[in-house]
Structure 1
């Protein structure tokens, strides 16, 4: 029985961790089910934008410490790292929709996504020090880039829990909305992205993800190559026609039905 639900509608894929009785805590089975879902999305051109969320009022409470780490810690954490990498590198925009707890790995799983939208009841926690364990989920990479190294050290050294409003204020997440509005806001964002220029968005995502490891010259050279490719795409041609005709571009006009 799968621990992950996958729903598709109009180019948007919603991936839901479905262990509400454990507040969607992560096990080896969850990691494998998420990997399968995201690897399939990467191979499916019709999947144009992704929402990652959790069932039952929590995003993800972290690793399920009641489950054995199998077959051994290194193998397990290697698969966890592969999951984070697949999400981070996925050539589609990914939105984390966070309600309730996003703790430990759950917090960092959200940060693997491109955008994080949280309800006002959400709480983010880098609780590893309380558990006597080290960081995972790419936090040592993502936290300093999002909030600066000093604030990152504060959060992880003291196992800080951060409510949604503060998370938005310090730049940890993108947006906080009332719980009654989060479904509509995230659905709107995801549909806008799904209706957008998929190839251009994937190139922009890759360029921004690599920006801290790149020199300015290398970034300029990469942008030149990306633009050379982009200028020749049907997306760019449609945008040009739309501009001339004073209408919104229809980037999905050439999609095959179904």
Structure 2
């Protein structure tokens, strides 16, 4: 089933294998975002999160750019709007989304586009892709997390350089710093993203959701509290399991082990 915004600027395609592909579809403007697109993108993630047939989401852009940021001709409409309205906030809805989000990045991810990339769980970038923070260049205050998230991923000094100089972070350097998971040829971008999605789909869906949640919630805490969070959620999980569920788990593990041995 396909769903798109009325202007077809945000496309949603649900594939039969449990993967949904969300495409920012304004290629003539390098996928720059209007207020309506931001609202539609937030709605797409909120809807896909509730759709139990969807297990993984791939987010990409059409044409030669992922997202060139907010359309500055609509800047006042976007920035003076209610930035605290979580229901229409793309990044908030991405962060609330229980399903893993894979960002497939080609060309430029600029400012708001950079922040949307930061809200993904896994990033695949085409060779030549660039991440650019232009907040300081245009006098825009960050409100989607770039000032806080980037330093926690690539280190404070490198993040300062990227943001204060407004110079691009290349996909290759981003991969070396642990921000991008894979750099591939442009023609392999969606193929690689789908391979990762398929690997996730094959796993226990309940545990995928729980594992994403404990990682993403834990990184907001210091290590001691994060370890306590893991312990607490692990205790709750196992306390809620029945003897039948433990038996099925044991049978599954035993079956996997016997298959491996038969291949030796």
Instruction: Please tell me the root mean square deviation across aligned C-alpha atoms, in Å.
Output: 2.5
Q: 1:192 to 1:236 in 2, by over 3 A?
A: farther
The answer as to 2:8 corresponding to 1:2 is yes
Contact 1:69-1:76 within 8 A present in 2 as well: no
The answer as to 2:133 corresponding to 1:123 is no
- Selected match of 2:250 from 219, 240, 249: 240
Offset, 1:3: 1.5
- Selected match of 2:47 from 40, 45, 48: 40
Aligned residues: 249
Give structure 1 stretches of 5+ with no counterpart: 250-258
Contact 2:102-2:120 within 8 A present in 1 as well: yes
Segment of structure 1 superposing worse, 31-40 or 240-249: 240-249
Q: 1:73 to 1:182 in 2, by over 3 A?
A: same
Q: 1:217 to 1:124 in 2, by over 3 A?
A: closer
The answer as to 2:121 corresponding to 1:114 is yes
Offset, 1:158: 0.3
Offset, 1:229: 4.4
Q: Which has the larger radius of gyration?
A: 2
The answer as to 2:215 corresponding to 1:208 is yes
SS in 2 for 1:172: coil
TM-score by length of 1: 0.87
TM-score by length of 2: 0.85
- Selected match of 2:99 from 92, 98, 109: 92
Offset, 1:217: 4.4
CA distance in 1, matches of 2:78, 2:106: 31
Deviation sequence 1:102-144 (CA, Å, 0-9, x none): 1111111111110111000211101211112222321122101
Deviation sequence 1:195-225 (CA, Å, 0-9, x none): 2222212222222222244344433332233
CA distance in 2, matches of 1:236, 1:149: 44
Q: 1:236 to 1:34 in 2, by over 3 A?
A: farther
The answer as to 2:192 corresponding to 1:182 is no
- Which residue matches 2:82? 75
Deviation sequence 1:16-69 (CA, Å, 0-9, x none): 011011111011111111111111111111111000010112100011012253
Give structure 2 stretches of 5+ with no counterpart: 1-6, 260-264
Q: 1:87 to 1:56 in 2, by over 3 A?
A: same
Offset, 1:90: 1.2
